[in-house]
Structure 1
């Protein structure tokens, strides 16, 4: 049964591959819409960015997985929010950035960390207590905010410092709206699931799936980084692929005999 559940998790992840690959991209249409629109455009983009930010959502899912009271959920989500607001606002305003594939790769590690922690990995593997959850969530909040900032900095934010700050704050507001919407669904789902016997039986498997999802996201981002820094190092660069087509005269191949019955 465990292997069956894991296969379902992996199948779901593979199905989401195209969405994961593009979830954090900023299209040219988005760029132009930002230039032509108002601050509400940044709010909307921030919300949609969070709702399609699978690495952020998976980490939050791991954080709230075992939290049973509203007070605990509010406490840890607030700590996470403070963390990502700090880096999102300040890193964007002061132009502090890094390769976003590498940042997202580290964020994927945070997903692995939370699944490992939820399954008692520190106790079983290292025979130590888990690091303080409050500080861990705050640290990863800073990291997730930096990831959001690297993407926001791809947008036209303008040269006016005041207008730029308002655009950043608008995007951040949208992120919070998206986060609240996603967390509401997660907490409601977990609250219903806890009432069923399968919750205890499959909680280990669910967090193991979280680890696998984090590993998958990590390799996706590292692969993207390799494409970003050395696009011609792969086996079939675009130019080489075109030369193969020309050498084989593929465009002009046509077999008349196939038209006969």
Structure 2
């Protein structure tokens, strides 16, 4: 691969970063649509949010990757679900929030953690047993729920405490339905793959790819945070930021407004 190709790939990755950073956020269209929406719409939005929540899905994929029985899958998924329900409902109802880019960046670390654990990283690099997986999944569930909450709080949930609680619960129901749908596909695909010789050969590579997927998500979220917190450093509107990245491989450009990259 020549230098020009590498530069183009880098430009493409950076250009996609702002899109991925908000890919499963709450769009302006959704915010407007939910102004007078009923509870069913919150269920639909929650399901769609989970099904497009690549960070949540990648973490769950890592959790169930080596689980071979329905009992184990149910146990770990239940613990994860309890964790994210607690923070999703509690943080949203009491309006506890933080910068969602930073929350999602930490969630990306959870993806990296699970991939590292799946490949025996603690044993190989630290000569120690992996931390208790059940507690780890519960802790990361709390974190993922807080990430969901920061996104949900972008919606106009209203001032009526009872109505607001029902909207939060409806969104949470949708999240769980989306999670069940995604897990059905994941567990089924892994069960089929596990009976093939390629599973043993490529399981390490699959989790290595999962780890680097987490790295990429981390970079995109930190990139989004940098753009969100220091917009002046880019010298042009956020909507144009992606296009500027796509043009990074254009030599001798005369557009001085992009010198800040």
Q: Same fold per TM (> 0.5)?
A: yes
Q: Distance in 1 between matches of 2:59 and 2:99?
A: 21
> Are 1:20 and 2:1 an aligned pair?
no
TM-aligned CA deviation for residue 145 of structure 1: 0.0
Is residue 71 of structure 2 the alignment partner of residue 67 of structure 1?
no
Normalized against structure 1, the TM-score is what? 0.84
Report how far residue 18 of structure 1 moved: 7.0
Q: Distance in 2 between matches of 1:245 and 1:167?
A: 47
CA distance in 2 between partners of 1:184 and 1:18 (Å): 30
**Structure 1 residue matching 2:216: 3-state secondary structure:** helix
Normalised by the length of structure 2, the TM-score is: 0.84
CA RMSD of aligned residues (A): 2.4
Instruction: Give distance in 2, aligned partners of 1:21 and 1:135.
Output: 28
* Residues 59-208 of structure 1: pairs in structure 2 closer than 5 A: 59-208=59-208
Match of 2:212 in 1: 212
State the Cα distance separating 1:233 from its structure 2 match.
1.3
Cα distance, 1:35 vs structure 2? 1.4
Q: Which moved more, 1:110-119 or 1:36-45?
A: 36-45
Deviations 1:103-128 (A, max 9, x none): 00000000000000000000000000
Residue 237 (structure 1) aligns with = 236
Distance 1:71 1:16 in 2: 39
1:181-202 superposed Cα distances (whole Å, 9 cap, x missing partner): 0000000000000011000000
| Paired residues of 1:33 and 1:41 also in contact (CA < 8 A) | no
> Is the CA contact 2:193–2:199 (under 8 Å) kept in the aligned structure 1?
yes
Deviations 1:50-93 (A, max 9, x none): 00000000000000000000000000000000000000000000
Relative to structure 1, the CA distance from residue 238 to residue 177 in structure 2 (aligned partners, 3 Å threshold; closer, same or farther) is: closer
Check the 8 A contact 2:79/2:141 in 1, yes or no. yes
Structure 1 gaps, min length 5 = 1-9, 248-261
State how far apart, in whole Å, the 2-side matches of 1:96 and 1:17 are. Answer: 27
Distance across 2 between alignment mates of 1:101 and 1:87:
17
Instruction: Flag the 1:182–1:16 CA change in 2: closer, same or farther, 3 A.
Output: farther
Query: How has the CA–CA distance of structure 1 residues 27 and 238 changed in structure 2, closer, same or farther, with 3 Å as cutoff?
Result: closer
Q: From the superposition, tell whether residues 152 and 128 of structure 1 become closer, same or farther in structure 2 (CA, over 3 Å).
A: same
State whether residues 39 and 166 of structure 1, in contact with CA within 8 Å, keep that contact through their aligned partners in structure 2: yes
The higher-RCO structure (CA 8 Å, 6+ apart) is 2
Aligned to 2:249: none
Corresponding residue pairs, total: 233
Shift of 1:136: 0.1
1:237, distance to aligned residue in structure 2 (A): 2.8
1:5: which partner in 2? none
Cα distance in 2, alignment partners of residues 129 and 140 from structure 1:
19
Pair member with larger Rg: 1
Shift of 1:218: 0.2
**Residue segments in structure 2 that go unaligned for 5+ positions in a row:** 1-8, 242-253
| Alignment correspondent of 1:255 | none
